[in-house]
Chain A
Amino acid sequence: MQAIADKQGIKHYLVNLTVNGDEYSPVIKGNTLLVNLLRDELDLTGTKKGCEMGDCGSCTVLLDGRPVDACLVLALEADGREVTTIEGVAQHGELDRLQRSFADNAAVQCGYCTPGMILSAKALLTRNPHPTEPEVRAAIAGNLCRCTGYVNIVKAVLDAADGESISETAAECALDDASSCEEVTA
């Protein structure tokens, strides 16, 4: 890994990572956390900061498709890997089925936990398209909602899962183009 020392002797490293499909090569200090790289350097402020100790899940992002707390990942450890933030969930300006379902089910109160909730749920539905309610609850157990709006959040995830089960074609095209999906499922 390429490193350059500044005047104070502190090293800066070149890191290559993909965020929401775009390649970035920022030069960062070793102590840069992934959450701070995303928010401060790449201006992707949809990823929230809560406890910053790995308890609350506000900063959840997908690292190679798996939910992780971005407050507990060194940005350097994401070198060569793929990161998905909440900004990468909607495609072509159309909300993802899961985001639509959160809106339809009033699963958002203050909204601070929502990006993390959506990404945890997204990872679950990718791996397990038809989860049971306990599976949904287990998948979002690392995301705390201080408004305690869990009932509607769980409902929204289950609804989005049901939507995907309507037709396999619909689920497949949802990956490419959310708008044409509605025609298929209608």
Chain B
Amino acid sequence: MYLPDFDYYAPETLQEVTALLAELGPSAKPIAGGTDILVKMKSGVVTPSALVSLKNLHELRPIRWDDDRGLVIGALATHNEIRDSPVVQQHFLSLSEAAHKLANNQVRNRGTIGGNLVNAIPSADLPPLLIALGAQVTMVGPNGSRTVPLESFFTGVSCCVLEPEGEIVTEIVIPPQDTTGSTYIKFGLRKSGALAVVGVAAAVTMDDAVIRDARVCLGAVYIVPVRATQAEQLVIGKTWTDDLLEQAGRIAVGCCLPISDIRASAEYRRDLVRIFTHRALKTAITQGHV
């Protein structure tokens, strides 16, 4: 399987990348790990006239903790770098675990967090948890930089707010928080290398047995990752019980609009949302690690 012809550029600086992308126009695409765009090019879904490689932007790779800003993840950090990062494991162990649930080892060594977001498929594994943890996305383009909550980053299947002419994601930031537990639960048809049929993330802040705050985000059951707001409202301020979480699961089903496809029917996905919302909340509450 061969790729069509295209021009290839590998600029040395962020400024050069954005300027070049702006100059070449929307038919030029940035390439990071390539695990999504090269597959799309092979199947003819996208046919860029040029690829602009981000491989020399080493400043977009590190993952660090900043006391004011929180966990700062460079957009070019690979999934295995996120999984193995001591900083991630110290502050948000659930993110390290979620990164391990994505694709397979070979893809995790190439694929980047920025690419995972920009690719914007509804079944992406990182967005539900990142949204539950209140992550922000920083983008840089020819006209400067801007930051949006990840929750409002996605606009549809394979669509996001990124400007097609020259803008790239540079950073994902998870703010410091008093969240006491979080998790991402995925159901795929295989343990490895399978897209999520349903993925549910939950993040909770507990005062002993009382749920002070809860955020639940559902993946693969709508055109974008979606918060189960009504389910969150039900549990906030209450003492947690299995019955309460079970009820939250039933309410979460009303927050999504899944499709039937080759992997599962809509009915099956709704049932998974009910069970996984219950399970994710319970894990976040009882397991305790953020």
- A residues sitting closer than 8 Å to B (CB atoms) are 1, 10-11, 13, 29-31, 33, 36, 52-55, 57, 60, 63, 66-69, 71-74, 76-77, 79, 120, 138-139, 141-142
Contact = CB atoms under 8 A, between A and B. Distances in A.
A22 B7 CA distance: 28
Interface stretch (B100-108, B144-152, B265-273): B100-108
Contacts of A77: 31, 34, 53, 55
B38 A141 contact: no
A10 B5 contact: yes
A141 B5 CA distance: 32
B262 interface: no
Interface in B1-36: 1-8, 10, 31, 34-35
A31 to B, nearest CB: 4
A120 B106 CA distance: 8
Given A30-B5, A67-B106, A141-B191, A76 B53 contact: yes
A53 B39 CA distance: 6
A33 B35 CA distance: 12
Interface residues of B, number: 29
Contacts of A139: 105
A142 B79 CA distance: 14
Nearest to A70: B106
A31 B106 contact: no
A30 B8 contact: yes
B42 interface: yes
A54 B107 contact: yes
Given A67-B106, A74-B38, 9 more contacts: A31-B5, A55-B193, A57-B104, A68-B106, A71-B1, A72-B107, A72-B110, A74-B34, A141-B192
B110 A141 contact: no
B98 interface: no
Q: Which 4 A-B pairs have the closest CB atoms?
A: A142-B104, A141-B192, A30-B8, A31-B3
Interface of B: 1-8, 10, 31, 34-35, 38-39, 42, 51, 53, 55, 80, 103-107, 109-110, 191-193
Contacts of B110: 68-69, 72-73
A30 B192 contact: no
A66 B109 contact: yes
A19 B5 CA distance: 25
A89 B129 CA distance: 39
Contacts of A76: 8, 10, 53
18 contacts: A1-B8, A30-B5, A33-B3, A52-B1, A53-B42, A55-B104, A60-B106, A68-B106, A68-B109, A72-B39, A72-B106, A74-B38, A74-B53, A77-B31, A79-B10, A138-B192, A141-B104, A142-B193
A30 B39 contact: no
A73 B192 contact: no
A77 B33 CA distance: 9
Contacts of A33: 2-3, 38
A52 B7 CA distance: 22
Contacts of B38: 33, 72, 74
Nearest to B192: A141
Contacts of A11: 7-8
